Amino acid sequence: MEDQGRVGGVDKNMRHPEWIKVKSTDTHETKKILRHHGVSTVCEEARCPNQGKCFSQSAAAFMILGDRCTRNCSFCAVESSEPLPPDPEEPEKVANAVMALGLKFAVITSVTRDDLPDGGAGGFAGTIQAIKNKNNAIKIEVLTPDFKGDSEALKTVLDAGPDVFNHNIETVPRLYSAVRPMADYATSVSVLNTAKKLSPAIKTKSGIMTGLGETEQEVLSVMHDLREAGCDFLTIGQYLQPRRTNIPVVEYIKPEIFERYRIKALEKGFRAVASSPLTRSSMDASAMFDNAPLF
C-alpha cells in the first residue's frame, strides 16, 4: 500500500528499485582463498546481493555440512536434495580459511541436515573448536537450523562457546506454509528461547525477511515474540527472488519503513538492530556484536 511506503505489487519490468541497487566490486582474492581451502559460503550458495561488498572486505559466512539441504524453503536458492555425508576435514578447512582471510569475527552457518542424528550440531561444535584452536580471540557467530527443536543438539552447539547464536525466524506465522513449508514458527521461537535459557551469556539473534506479503502489524508481532524469547539482536531485510523457481517478491518495502521497523525494534528492547532493504543476517555481524551496549 503506497501510503505505508510500499509498492503494491511488483513491476515485472523493474528488476529492483533504485534503493536496492548493488555496486559490483572485486572479489577475486577472497574467492581464491575460499577455493584454495575447499570451503563453501552461504554468500555464494544463496546468491546474496551483498556478496561483492563482503568479499571485497575479505568477509564471508561459511556454510558447512555440504551444499544440499533436506528441506525445501521456497525463498532459498540452496539445492534441496539428498545430502552427501559430512566432510570430516571440514572444520579444519574452515579454520584455515578463517586464518587466511585474517578474520577477527567468523560466521558459520549450514544447510539443514534432518538426515543426521544430531541435525549437524556436531559439525558446528567441531568447527567452532577448530577455529578456537587456531586463535581463541576470534569471535564466532553461528547461524543454525532449528534441529527440530532438539535441546540436546542446541546444547552441543552452545557448549562449544560461540559468541552469538543466530536462528532466523524468516517470516511471519501466516506465511510459513508458503515460505517455510517444512518448518514451524513456534519451534523456531522455542529454539531461541531454549538457547537463551541454556546459555544466558551468549547473545541470541534472529532475522526477518520482508516483501513476502506480510503486514506491518505481523512484523511487530514477530518482534514481540522474539523479545519474549530473550532475543538480543535483530536483522530485517528485503526478500529478493534468487531464482525464477523461488517464491516471487510480493512488494518492495521502502527504506523509510525499514527505519520505522528499526526504531520499533529498539523500543521493544533489542540490543542492536540492522534494518534496511539490503540487510542480511550475516552482514556486518561483527559491527552488530561490537556496537551492542553492555548492560
What average pLDDT does this structure show over 91-117? 95
- Pairwise CA distance, residues 40 & 87, whole Å: 12
For residue 3, the model assigns a pLDDT of: 40
pLDDT at 241 exceeding the cut of 80? yes
For residue 219, the model assigns a pLDDT of: 98
pLDDT at 210 exceeding the cut of 80? yes
For 16-29, the pLDDT digits (tens) are 788 777 665 556 67
Which one has a higher pLDDT value, 57 or 107? 107
Domains, in order of start, for the chain: 2-6+23-291 (3.20.20.70)
What does R_g of the chain's alpha carbons equal in angstroms?
A: 18
For residue 134, the model assigns a pLDDT of: 97
**241: Cβ contacts below 8 Å, ≥ 6 apart:** 247, 248, 249
Stretch among 29-38, 127-136, 191-200, 274-283 having the lowest mean pLDDT: 29-38
3-state SS of 227-285? HHCCCCEEEEEECCCCCCCCCCCCCCECHHHHHHHHHHHHHCCCCEEEECCCCCCCCCH
For residue 193, the model assigns a pLDDT of: 98
For residue 4, the model assigns a pLDDT of: 42
Tell me the three cell numbers of residue 41.
559460503
Confidence of residue 8 (pLDDT cuts 50, 70, 90): very low
Stretch among 51-55, 76-80, 242-246 having the lowest mean pLDDT: 51-55
- Pairwise CA distance, residues 190 & 127, whole Å: 24
Task: Give me the amino acid identity at 76.
Answer: C
**H helices present in the chain, as ranges:** 28-37, 42-45, 51-56, 90-101, 121-134, 151-159, 176-179, 185-198, 216-228, 255-267, 285-291
Confidence of residue 178 (pLDDT cuts 50, 70, 90): very high
Phi and psi (nearest 5°) for 283?
A: -70, 130
For residue 24, the model assigns a pLDDT of: 56
User: How many angstroms separate the Cα of 261 from the Cα of each of 15, 123, 267, 281?
Assistant: 24, 35, 10, 16
For 109-138, the pLDDT digits (tens) are 999 999 999 999 999 999 999 999 999 999
pTM score, two decimals? 0.90
For residue 279, the model assigns a pLDDT of: 92
pLDDT at 205 exceeding the cut of 90? yes
Residue pair 61/107 in contact (Cβ under 8 Å)? The answer is: yes
Give the rounded distance of the alpha carbon of 92 from its chain centre. 22
Which one has a higher pLDDT value, 91 or 285? 91
- Pairwise CA distance, residues 139 & 183, whole Å: 29
Q: How far apart are the first and last CA of the chain?
A: 39
